Structure 1
């Protein structure tokens, strides 16, 4: 996944204690001594790039049928870096050991010293091609099913790897029905963050759709299930109990396809919901949700939340309205709220809160750790490469090799 990398959430994810063992990798091109500092340094080094998503998080998880897990991961990373021309890019990461199985996370900077950005177009297909080569070379009996199988075979033949292409075709993977994952990576993150099962949400939305014949009936059926219907930036969105928005056309269409294999067209959903006077998602919904959480917390045994996966959490720490972002989500800023809404919210904040925000922005110690990490990199010995400069006109150098 590509992202901004800001904050420490990514580093904390790599350090999560639920693993049996976390082995921090030796970083490349970074001077910070810990993983959190290394991710911050990656972000700092990428600030001059022409992208708002300069960090690339990838993980390699060899199939259990591969006996030599370490060698398989090493081979994958060699192929991966050659494919994306990342061999000289800084990275950090960790190896996770869980239930005796190892997988490896790496976080790369996509911004080159010149300010250019690494091309990651068609990255799913290109990464899977690397994976198929590893599976073949390490003796797996058949390749992992992929919706890109035919394109991967064609690309392998162009690269002179007809042996891998023949192996894939002999397995029947190019003729099999294209597999559909239950959740996309983004949807898995949303499900983990909110504690709301997307399968359950889809089933509830489909049941409401099938139990109604009009937009008003659909809205009433949703509310009876504890859901709501709002207007998002890309159309009506189904809002779950955490305030997360899911684009109604995608949610219902995916639910129908999983239920009986037939997809309800987006046009049919839009036609039924046309004419409904829906409140914009984000307008007052946060207050409604917080009131609901307070009531649920008071009603639950022990005063805790009654929200299943979120039970026991403080209602004051409920997930705020945010953009769901995944396949079933309404794309846009912060759950569909527009920029003008943000200005209104800032103006409406209490005077004391506005003063605290101003002081935090003016604090001289803010981002000091990032500045220290950058200074540490700049303080190392470099050898200038004649005739090469970065986007600011400063000489591009190479670290001297020792020994």
Structure 2
């Protein structure tokens, strides 16, 4: 059944809405954990408690809608409510359960239910958080459809579009890294079964999830995955073979496992070729981008060096002028010579010039080291991308070999069956040889 829930406030409006009897029969089936004995009183009670917290959406309202033609007992509704309650983390919280029955224009009675929980934990005096409630309710709904054997709405089934022929290169690499768990495989088969009602629909649903319908070698209904593994449909879905036979029909109309493996292998080899072309194009793009990146980096670093050299030259000229201006001329200069001041000024200028040279040298070295570091980072990043691309190409080559081997392994069995079929046809079409006897002519094969 479809489960739709959301946290909300407005208890009075919700109570009035649930108790409306327009064209409906309303039954309050349960009031658990409340002092009040009516819906409006129960929600007022929850609101009063919530005033001790900062929570405004103090209720969680959930509607439960079974398939239109399904006859669902009260016990099934209660079981579904308990499952949703446990999944949401609202176990033992006060709740109200209301049934609605409405007669449609076609004379059929549609029955659904609403359940409302209090979110307020009275011991902690805080609201119970409800993260990912939509996803959790979808999980419960899927389990209910599978449990009751209802045909699941296509939007509710978790297909994931796992047909490997539709994978992008990134999706193929991810699928290569991770291995499907038995639970995921079982879920894929159960989803396929739940949303299909015919052989064609089941075959399509299975292929969307990466499985091909086939006839088992031991006269079973099976599906083959892209690895060539054979899965028994009845066992994976958890039903009897008779139910599979009723939906699929004559087993002889299905391709054999060998033929299916050859089909998969050829389809996947074509996909691997597409991936290899994509990798080759990516490698060429990376090469062009790497060349462009290096050229841009070299131009920028060349400009930085030129700017640094020009700034150092201008600074050195200014500092040299400043030092020369300290040496006085004329009578003042003669007086500086006589008292030794000129000698001290020259020594000071020499020391400052040496310090300026060391400073400029250190600055050049720092700039050079910075630019070398930038160059190393760029080269390492380009090398990493190049190695990843090469590794991807090697993986695709290995995958292509696997599928070629799958085709080669399946071909002998297929050829043997073809030869056996041809031999049967030759024996059936062989002309009878005439022989004579005392009793008259007779015919033998």
Q: Normalising TM by the smaller chain, what interval? A: 0.3 to 0.5
Structure 2 length-normalised TM: 0.35
Structure 1 length-normalised TM: 0.38
Structure in which a larger fraction of residues adopt helix: 2
Structure number, greater radius of gyration: 2
Higher RCO (CA < 8 A, seq sep 6+): 1
